[in-house]
């Protein structure tokens, strides 16, 4: 199964790209936490700048992080396939092309690699098999949260996804495919992942919703992995402040009440995330990187029952069978490294009879 895994995700990527008007492809990953109060990223990152003599950077002797003083970035890359821009042909190239077309129409020769390359939508592999060309870059959303106040869980991802996918630009999309490296928040073996991702499928009315984990050792094939390096490069030599303006000691080390410490830490981390977002306000491969702050004191969330759900998922599959979560189990196919939610044909199913499957190229393909 392990060796089949990259093929499985490649097939899904190709199918989604072939009907790209209906589908969204998202690559997700969390990054190593960003330090606050000491060097944001390790001192071993290479500095690619020139310094004048006697103007070299000065670091502290140690870059031990303060306890709990980290920012957790969660990345969501909306993968797009760039249209191939056609180069204007010269007059001799036009004549050559016309001759080739005439010759082919007379001899009825099959489509060749050269033909499909001109369009850019397809390509041939080394065995001559035709594949749909799919892009691995696109607009990137990074949601930054302070580790002292929020953790990264299946619920936080579901809340962020609900926010991203509710955007008007995704209106009318009927299929969503999520690719991740199978970390604990995304593991397809986890019942919590099944429930939260299933809720998104149900609440956002997708006809087909898949979470594809890359098997162990294949995480480098997750497209988002290639974006972290240029992002971290922006933070070389940067120290995000852990003190309030005018103060020399971090709130956690001050001799003040716990209430006051918390109030000050909220200000410190909200400001540190704002500064981090300024460094990451950039483009990559022509696409915008959009850093978003999750405030230390978060507002109303779509899903906010993580503690209840954690206990519920411990209770075992037999108990789930008699609950409302059974609806999600019924519509889910769980395979190694893959979760798929599809609408059913049961005439008694309220959700699927009210929100019928829309006729699209993708749904025709999967039957």
**Applying CB under 5 A, which residues contact Zn ion?**
344, 349, 352
Taking the least distance from each CB to Zn ion, the nearer of 93 and 346 is 346
Q: Compute the least distance from the CB of residue 25 to Zn ion, in Å.
A: 24
**Taking the complex as a whole, how short is the minimal distance between the CB of residue 201 and Zn ion, in angstroms?**
11
Q: Which is nearer to Zn ion, 98 or 344 (CB)?
A: 344
**d(C-alpha 147, C-alpha 276), whole Å:** 14
- Of the pair 111, 344, the CB lying nearest Zn ion is at 344
CB of 340 to Zn ion, least distance (A): 14
How far apart CA 328 and CA 356 sit, in angstroms, is: 16
What span, in angstroms and rounded, lies between the C-alpha atoms of 164 and 173?
13
Rounded to whole angstroms, what are the CA distances from 129 to 115, 202, 216, 308?
14, 37, 27, 50
- Smallest gap, in angstroms, from Cβ of residue 170 to Zn ion? 22
Q: Are 211 and 157 in contact (CB under 8 A)?
A: no
Tell me how far apart the alpha carbons of residues 337 and 217 are, in angstroms, rounded to a whole number.
13
Concatenated DSSP letters of 189-254: T-HHHHHHHHHHHHHTT-SEEEEEEPPTT-GGGSTTHHHHHHHHHTTTT-B---S-TT-SS-GGGS
Least separation in angstroms between residue 335's CB and Zn ion is 19
Closer residue to Zn ion (CB): 295 or 352: 352
Report in angstroms how near the CB of residue 328 gets to Zn ion at its nearest.
10
Closest listed residue to residue 82, CA positions, set 35, 137, 43: 137
Q: Which residues are bridge partners to 140 per DSSP?
A: 77, 289
Cβ pair 111, 58 in contact under 8 A: no
Which of 80/340 has CB closer to Zn ion? 340
Q: Hey, CA dihedral for 219, 162, 206, 121, is it positive or negative?
A: negative
Give me the sign of the Cα torsion angle 216, 80, 211, 283: positive
Q: Write the burial class of residue 19 (CB in 10 Å: 0-12 exposed, 13-18 middle, 19+ buried).
A: middle
Judged by beta carbon, residue 11 or residue 204, the one nearer Zn ion is 204
Beta pairing class for 34-35 and 23-30: unpaired
70 vs 343 by CB, closer to Zn ion: 343
Distances in Å between the alpha carbon of 55 and those of 26, 49, 248? 43, 12, 25
Q: Which is nearer to Zn ion, 209 or 280 (CB)?
A: 209
State the minimum distance, in angstroms, from the CB of residue 207 to Zn ion: 11
Q: Which is nearer to Zn ion, 266 or 349 (CB)?
A: 349
Three-state DSSP at 341 gives strand
Shortest Cβ 352–Zn ion spacing (Å) = 3
Instruction: State the nearest-atom distance from the C-beta of 204 to Zn ion, in Å.
Output: 15
| 284 membership: H or E segment, kind and range | strand 283-284
């Amino acid at each position: 199964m392990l060796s089949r895994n990259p093929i499985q995700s490649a097939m899904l990527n190709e199918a989604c790209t072939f009907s790209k008007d209906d589908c969204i492809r998202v690559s997700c990953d969390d990054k190593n936490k960003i330090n606050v109060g000491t060097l944001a990223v390790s001192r071993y990152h290479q500095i690619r700048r020139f310094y004048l003599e006697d103007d070299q950077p000065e670091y502290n002797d140690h870059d031990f992080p303060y306890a709990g003083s980290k920012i957790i970035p969660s990345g969501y890359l909306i993968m797009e396939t760039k249209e191939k821009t056609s180069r204007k042909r010269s007059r001799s190239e036009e004549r050559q092309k016309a001759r080739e077309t005439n010759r082919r129409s007379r001899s009825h020769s099959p489509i060749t690699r050269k033909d499909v390359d001109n369009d850019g939508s397809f390509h041939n592999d080394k065995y001559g098999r035709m594949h749909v060309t799919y892009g691995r870059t696109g607009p990137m959303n990074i949601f930054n949260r302070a580790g002292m106040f929020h953790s990264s869980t299946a619920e936080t991802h579901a809340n962020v996804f609900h926010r991203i996918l509710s955007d008007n630009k995704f209106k009318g999309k009927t299929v969503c495919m999520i690719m991740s490296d199978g970390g604990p928040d995304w593991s397809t073996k986890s019942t919590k992942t099944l429930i939260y991702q299933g809720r998104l499928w149900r609440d956002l009315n997708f006809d087909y919703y898949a979470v594809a984990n890359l098997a162990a050792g294949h995480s480098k094939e997750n497209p988002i992995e290639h974006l972290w390096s240029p992002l971290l490069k922006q933070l070389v030599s940067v120290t995000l402040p852990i003190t309030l303006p005018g103060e020399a000691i971090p709130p956690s080390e001050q001799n003040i009440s716990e209430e006051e410490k918390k109030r000050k830490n909220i200000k410190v981390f909200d400001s540190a995330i704002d500064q981090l977002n300024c460094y990451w306000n950039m483009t990559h491969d022509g696409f915008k990187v959009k850093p978003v702050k999750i405030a230390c004191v978060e507002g109303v969330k779509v899903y906010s029952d993580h503690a209840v759900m954690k206990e519920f998922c411990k209770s075992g599959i037999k108990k789930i069978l008699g609950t409302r979560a059974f609806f999600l189990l019924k519509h889910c196919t769980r395979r190694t490294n893959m979760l798929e939610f599809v609408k059913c044909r049961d005439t008694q199913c309220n959700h699927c009879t009210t929100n019928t499957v829309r006729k699209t190229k993708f749904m025709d393909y999967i039957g």
